[in-house]
Structure 1
């Protein structure tokens, strides 16, 4: 989908939503978002900050007292991938829990005693564990489950009626099925329990709902201007050098024009969304095979839109 000034100007689907049933994809299909979930987690934290219930400068030990070196790791470090905490997706023991029903505390306990990769604020390294911790903090502070918080404060508020916390059990209307590609052809995606990626990658949505999300951010429907700017600012490491990540978005450029972008990858699905603020252009691509990343085509279309749309 390509949208400008809040309205879709092009949208199209290619291929199959379900290979076994031979059902074509449509632009209304529901896809797993993977790490685009992090946008929602970051905004949920900022909603709580705006409500006065937490502060991003606070140490995580305030909420999780027994977290190792938690007095040196702030919520800001988690949001910006600068905490140095071990990313649980890189742990060899991940397969032992991948299909288990995990509580957020169990997930945190799974990685919290791993050796750190670096000291907080020393470098930027993309990290799913930090966003699992954020989901846990959201639950502790709000006294709602992460799923309830996102539904009550974001999805329901914005009319994102085809967006969900992912499930393989519940009947999801217009669900796109996810696939891997092997040498012998396509196979159904590997099953994981969504309590494992949790707030780092467990949401589902449609392109139309994601446009509602993008428009709501622009119109400050969820956050005031000051909190919104925190999500889209660049920050500095301890040594004063810049890095290109805000809170839940990569802060980049296309041919010198600033962009806010984020992709996602989870078994069977890959996603990419690019927003160009000064032209109010939003380009989003979803794939229901993790063999096909939509990043290049979404970026190429964003470049085209930038040239063609005034």
Structure 2
């Protein structure tokens, strides 16, 4: 199944410990376990103080032709592209070719509310514009070449979701328009701008505007796991659809090089970087942010077709971590949490993959309801779809749960475990090493 390009804000909770001596063997063991249990295919890279200290790949770039993935395999990175696009826009701002206060109507007056929407609104997902990847016919036209006129034509027919600046709501449309604006200013294609301003100066050889996947060029196909078999995703998103919202291909190593240079001040001015990492209104510019190890982490995740990815950077620690999966069961968020737990914690235990239990729809009734906590930022509503339990975090992600013994449910996608105590109307959420108690209303 083709997945829309989406973002789920990532949550990182500090473990309250300091770095130990690096142990490559532990990380190798982690990825061996993931590989042997069919929980993922992809590549990982860790940078510390500007140097790569770990890299690994599991699975295949092309199963049919028995092409294994390696550190140079190129993957579609989805919405991590937005960090690149935001960087390009801020370079134009630094050069006085554009202003954050410039209105969208300067370039595309036909777009709804264009006279009220600024460049900053677009960068921070505060424009109120309809998200084109939520179009009811998206799965039909996403695999076809699309012109700018076609994309704008779909947008102008849509009503706005809210007035500019009123709230923050993720919309790929914002970064599609930023791509077009950059093209207008530079009189070049997005691919040419990306090459001239980022990939060439940084010497990135495997980061580029994507094309149709060719596994013979060490480009990964994407897969979904069905009945313990990896099946290739046959319908590829045509890159004329996402452009600067999700069209870049790269490797984890080169994503870390990009982030390292972004945060070292090589790509934008300090003033611009400070604006990019300002998350006071919910999102930064091409970046999301959470605390990790009691320190601030910034990054972005991505999903396109069967690919899922996550890059994060801890400025104070000067650590960059990137994982890109072309076959995903265990989410990139969950994998990176395990990677860093292993990296920093001598007592780290490898994940154990138990066999999920089967339930009747009546079995699940004891868990349903709305759960709240004094120490967690949003309530969690537990519902069901037939024999599957669903967790819906208000203002956060929705994810299905697999059930195990002792009222234990796990989400591989979110990297979370939920322990229910139905008779006490209580639930414990275990997320990224932190346990939070909830009461059922």
Q: Taking structure 2 as the reference length, what is the TM-score of the superposition?
A: 0.65
- Match 2:277 to one of 232, 241, 244: 232
Deviates more, 1:33-42 or 1:53-62: 53-62
- Write out aligned runs for 1:80-99 (5 A): 80-99=124-143
- Match 1:51 to one of 80, 84, 95: 95
Contact kept? 1:270, 1:292, Cα under 8 Å: no
- Match 1:258 to one of 287, 296, 306: 296
Is residue 281 of structure 1 aligned with residue 285 of structure 2?
no
- Superposed CA deviations along residues 170-202 of structure 1, whole A, max 9, x for unmatched, are 677321221122347322212221111111001
Once residues 112 and 285 of structure 1 are traced to their aligned partners in structure 2, the CA distance between those partners, rounded to angstroms, is 36
Is residue 78 of structure 1 aligned with residue 116 of structure 2?
no
- The residue number in structure 2 matching 1:128 is 172
Structure 1's 107 and 299: CA in aligned 2 closer, same or farther, altered over 3 A? farther
Larger Rg: 2
- Write out aligned runs for 1:150-189 (5 A): 150-168=194-212, 173-183=217-227, 185-189=229-233
Q: Taking structure 1 as the reference length, what is the TM-score of the superposition?
A: 0.91
Structure 1's 141 and 235: CA in aligned 2 closer, same or farther, altered over 3 A? farther
Structure 1's 172 and 47: CA in aligned 2 closer, same or farther, altered over 3 A? farther
Once residues 96 and 18 of structure 1 are traced to their aligned partners in structure 2, the CA distance between those partners, rounded to angstroms, is 25
Q: Say how many residue pairs are matched.
A: 301
- Match 2:151 to one of 94, 104, 107: 107
Q: Please state how far the C-alpha of 1:93 moved relative to its aligned partner.
A: 2.0
Once residues 219 and 255 of structure 1 are traced to their aligned partners in structure 2, the CA distance between those partners, rounded to angstroms, is 21
- Superposed CA deviations along residues 232-257 of structure 1, whole A, max 9, x for unmatched, are 11243xxxxxx2x1110102112432
- The residue number in structure 1 matching 2:14 is none
Once residues 12 and 76 of structure 1 are traced to their aligned partners in structure 2, the CA distance between those partners, rounded to angstroms, is 37
Structure 1's 257 and 169: CA in aligned 2 closer, same or farther, altered over 3 A? closer
- The residue number in structure 2 matching 1:205 is 250
Structure 1's 108 and 91: CA in aligned 2 closer, same or farther, altered over 3 A? same
Contact kept? 2:215, 2:221, Cα under 8 Å: no
Q: Please state how far the C-alpha of 1:70 moved relative to its aligned partner.
A: 0.5
Once residues 62 and 187 of structure 1 are traced to their aligned partners in structure 2, the CA distance between those partners, rounded to angstroms, is 46
User: Unpaired segments of 5 or more residues in structure 2?
Assistant: 1-44, 347-441
Is residue 18 of structure 1 aligned with residue 18 of structure 2?
no
- Superposed CA deviations along residues 115-171 of structure 1, whole A, max 9, x for unmatched, are 111111121111111110111111111111111100111111110111111111667
Q: Please state how far the C-alpha of 1:82 moved relative to its aligned partner.
A: 1.2
Deviates more, 1:132-141 or 1:61-70: 61-70
User: Unpaired segments of 5 or more residues in structure 1?
Assistant: 237-242
Once residues 340 and 148 of structure 2 are traced to their aligned partners in structure 1, the CA distance between those partners, rounded to angstroms, is 37
Is residue 64 of structure 1 aligned with residue 108 of structure 2?
yes
Determine which structure has the larger helix proportion and give its number: 1
